[in-house]
Amino acid sequence: MLDLIIRNAKELNQEPVEIGILDGKIQQISSKISEEAKEEVTLSDTQYLSAGWIDDHVHCYEKMNLYYDYPDKIGVSKGVTTVIDAGTTGAENIGDFYHITRDKKTNVFALLNISKWGIVEQDELADLTKIKEEKVAQALRDYPDFIVGIKARMSKSVVGENGITPLELAKKIQSDNEHLPLMVHIGSAPPELSEVLAKMEAGDVLTHCFNGKENGILDHETDKIKEVAWDAYRKGVVFDIGHGTDSFNFHVAETALKEGMKARSISTDIYVRNRNNGPVFDLATTMEKLHVVGYSWEEILTKVTATPAENFHLTTKGQLQPGFDADITIFELVDEDKELTDSNGFTRVTHQQIKPIKTIIGGVIYDN
């Protein structure tokens, strides 16, 4: 007997499927499941499902003052089954973060800030003595299933006088630790974007990729994507949205798309203030923004499921396949206009919205 069967389901391709779940895992997917289950859920004809949405850039260590939120407020209640906290904590406080997230409904993982206390202050990389490689290595040994990579914020307000040095240290930590995934935040110079990108390799994640700043990927004089950004993109650096309060600009995203450049993953950089007051609100709204830019829903869904799972080695997540975790998002596409605002106050109107209806995490169903 199965624990749960989802009936009358379909993905965006409209193919009818039923999904059988046992012990928190997807046990089977087929057009018709004849077995019985303790519980069944039947989707309405307007509902779709996908693998559970993964937001790979959030801030959800609730004990911080600067950037913080609560995992279930940005996760399960928003159709997001897994969140990756992007460097809110470092080696000194990630243990506490780990312990207080064990009873959350939402799956929580973390990128370890290379600065040992994380983002307690805005300039966590201005003092290089806060980067202690042996402490990072110890944290990785203590929480191997929780820490899925490391984070370095490479912008003026964070690094102070240190220029590119913190990224060099992050790359060393990465190569000394089985080539861990690395996420790099970009913003105002110094360091220059070109210096940051020159140090990044294939698979490294560049977050805030479509920010509207001078030191972003768009050359504001020529209105073209900078050649250094194209070089990084071509060598396999992963462009990640990381919308945030200050880091998503419609025109940059549109210009990139026009030139043939797309973000590989879509994430929010959400925390309590930009969730309550905008412009982020939630992952669905960020997905709508990429839709209005011109991405298809199919590719948007891949960019919040399979791609982030692959980038951060979440090997049992991001796909609807037997043996994978039973993390599923049930949603509707609603033909209704909605005005969307980017981080610089520019607006676009989407004609279609994506609305999470139910979130299934480890086989447990939650209503949205």
CB of 213 to Zn ion, least distance (A): 12
The minimum distance between CB 132 and Zn ion, in angstroms, equals 22
Provide the phi-psi class of 330: left if phi over 0, else alpha when psi is between -120 and 50, else beta. beta
Kindly list the distances between the CA atom of residue 220 and the CA atoms of 212, 215, 225, 259, 345, in Å, as whole numbers in the listed order: 9, 10, 9, 15, 17
Q: How many whole angstroms separate alpha carbon 255 and alpha carbon 243? A: 16
Which of 124, 269, 310, 325 contacts Zn ion by CB under 5 A? 269
Least separation in angstroms between CB 55 and Zn ion: 11
Only one of the segments 195-203, 262-270, 312-320, 352-360 lies at the binding site for Zn ion (rule: CB under 5 A); that segment is 262-270
Give whichever of 132 and 185 is closer to Zn ion, judged by the CB atom. Answer: 185
Helical residues (DSSP H) of the chain, grouped into ranges: 71-74, 94-100, 133-142, 156-159, 165-176, 193-199, 227-235, 250-259, 272-276, 283-293, 297-303, 306-311
The token duo for 134 is 């042996």
Interface with Zn ion by CB under 5 A: which range of 113-121, 232-240, 266-274, 332-340? Answer: 266-274
Q: Does 213 bind Zn ion (CB under 5 A)?
A: no
Shortest Cβ 204–Zn ion spacing (Å): 15
- Closer by beta carbon to Zn ion, 69 or else 325: 69
Per CB under 5 A, which of residues 144..203 are in contact with Zn ion?
A: 185
d(CA 104, CA 99): 10
Segment lying near Zn ion (by CB under 5 A), choices 132-140, 264-272, 302-310, 315-323: 264-272
Please give the residue whose beta carbon sits closest to Zn ion in the complex.
Answer: 185
d(CA 264, CA 95): 30
Contact string 80-119 vs Zn ion (x = CB under 5 A): ------x---------------------------------
Q: How far is the CB of 252 from Zn ion (least distance, A)?
A: 16
Residues 324-353 that bind Zn ion (CB under 5 A): none
- Taking the complex as a whole, how short is the minimal distance between the CB of residue 128 and Zn ion, in angstroms? 19
CB of 154 to Zn ion, least distance (A): 9
- Identify the three-state secondary structure at position 23: coil
Rounded distance, CA 248 to CA 211, Å? 5
Count of residues near Zn ion by CB under 5 A: 3
* Bridge partner residues of 47 (DSSP): 332
Q: Closer to Zn ion by CB, 52 or 87: give it.
A: 87
Kindly list the distances between the CA atom of residue 94 and the CA atoms of 15, 83, 167, 300, in Å, as whole numbers in the listed order: 43, 15, 20, 31
Nearer to Zn ion, 233 or 271 (CB): 271
Residues that bind Zn ion (CB under 5 A): 86, 185, 269
